[in-house]
Structure 1
């Protein structure tokens, strides 16, 4: 499903953010990426959805080498990858329905398919009743649920989440995690970077700990093991 093969990433300022990572994630896994601030988690996540490319090594999703595809091929690749950010990244002038539908409109999906799929994913995140609302009319937790709905409307094979509960109160955070749990139960691979110790320790899944740009621990159903 997802492979890192001797992946390195250095920046122009000389910082080596990822140091020779080798990793395999199976289809259908739920994986937490944890570690202290500055450990390299964000770089690791950005490499997964090709926001950046490795300095050295290979990253493969479903056999496609992200380091070698051309920039014009990236939009097609990202149909396989759903991405959820900490700050939601919703379009403020579009309704909930329009924000989710936009991801399907850009690939020129048929309008009937768009309507059906948007309502399906809004139902999954329990926001059908907010379809006509603007993002400013929603709570932070509701905005994040819209972001999740948008990320899965293309039926991606993997959803990558970068601190998705970082801006939320504990109750909202748990409701978001329940949604990710349902997405994973439906067969979608979930990879999530998080500082939330309680979530990792209570919703036990595979835990990959990164420190100094290297994987220092990889445990099935592990605990957080780091100070946030």
Structure 2
């Protein structure tokens, strides 16, 4: 599903963010990516959806090598990879329904397919009754659920969650985690970068710890392993 072979990333300013990573994430896995600030987690995550390109090495997703992918093919890749951010990134002038539908409109899905799929994913995130609300009328947790719905509306094979509970209170964070776990149970591979020790230690999944741009730990049903 996702394979990194001897992947390095050095930024133009000389900072080496990723230092020879080899890793495989299988289809249907749920993986936490943890580590100290500045360890390379964000770069690791961004390379999976080709926001960043490796300096050296190969990143294979569904048989496609992202390191050699032409720029014009990146939008097609991102139809198969959903991304959820810490700060939601919703369009403020669009309703909940319109925010989610937009991801399908840009690929010219038919109106009937858009309506069915949008309402289906809003049901998954428990927001069917707020389809006509606007982002400013929602709580932070509800906005994050809209962002998740938008990320999965294309039926992606991989869902990337970059600190999805970072701006949320503990109760709301647990709600988001149960939704992500449900999405994973439906067959989507989930890769989640997080600093949330309680979540990692309670909802046990595979843990990949990155330190100094290298894989420091890779444990099935692992623990967070760091003080906040």
TM (norm. structure 1) is 0.99
1:61 deviates by 0.5
- Structural mapping, 1:85-100, within 5 Å: 85-100=85-100
In the alignment, structure 1 segments of 5+ residues that lack a partner are none
Q: Which position in structure 2 is the counterpart of 1:203?
A: 203
Q: Could you give the per-residue CA deviations for residues 36-91 of structure 1, whole angstroms, max 9, x where no partner exists?
A: 11110000000010001000000010010011111111111111100000000000
Tell me the distance in 1 between the aligned counterparts of 2:137 and 2:16.
Answer: 42
Question: 3-state SS of the aligned residue for 1:225?
Answer: coil
1:156 deviates by 0.3
Q: Which position in structure 2 is the counterpart of 1:178?
A: 178
Q: Which position in structure 2 is the counterpart of 1:10?
A: 10
- In the alignment, is residue 155 of structure 1 matched against residue 155 of structure 2? yes
Q: Which position in structure 2 is the counterpart of 1:119?
A: 119
In the alignment, structure 2 segments of 5+ residues that lack a partner are none
Q: Which position in structure 2 is the counterpart of 1:65?
A: 65
Question: 3-state SS of the aligned residue for 2:33?
Answer: strand
Tell me the distance in 1 between the aligned counterparts of 2:105 and 2:64.
Answer: 24
What is the Cα-based RMSD across aligned positions, in Å? 0.5
Q: Work out whether residues 2 and 24 of structure 1, in 8 Å CA contact, stay in contact via their aligned partners in 2.
A: yes
Tell me the distance in 2 between the aligned counterparts of 1:174 and 1:7.
Answer: 33
1:180 deviates by 0.3
1:219 deviates by 0.2
Tell me the distance in 2 between the aligned counterparts of 1:102 and 1:170.
Answer: 30
Q: Which position in structure 2 is the counterpart of 1:23?
A: 23
Number of aligned residue pairs: 228
Q: Which position in structure 1 is the counterpart of 2:218?
A: 218
1:226 deviates by 1.1
- Structural mapping, 1:25-40, within 5 Å: 25-40=25-40
Tell me the distance in 2 between the aligned counterparts of 1:78 and 1:65.
Answer: 13
Tell me the distance in 2 between the aligned counterparts of 1:149 and 1:156.
Answer: 11
Tell me the distance in 2 between the aligned counterparts of 1:150 and 1:62.
Answer: 21
Q: Could you give the per-residue CA deviations for residues 190-223 of structure 1, whole angstroms, max 9, x where no partner exists?
A: 0000000000000000000000000010000000
Tell me the distance in 1 between the aligned counterparts of 2:67 and 2:136.
Answer: 38
1:227 deviates by 2.0
Q: Which position in structure 1 is the counterpart of 2:188?
A: 188
- Structural mapping, 1:135-150, within 5 Å: 135-150=135-150
1:174 deviates by 0.2
1:7 deviates by 0.3
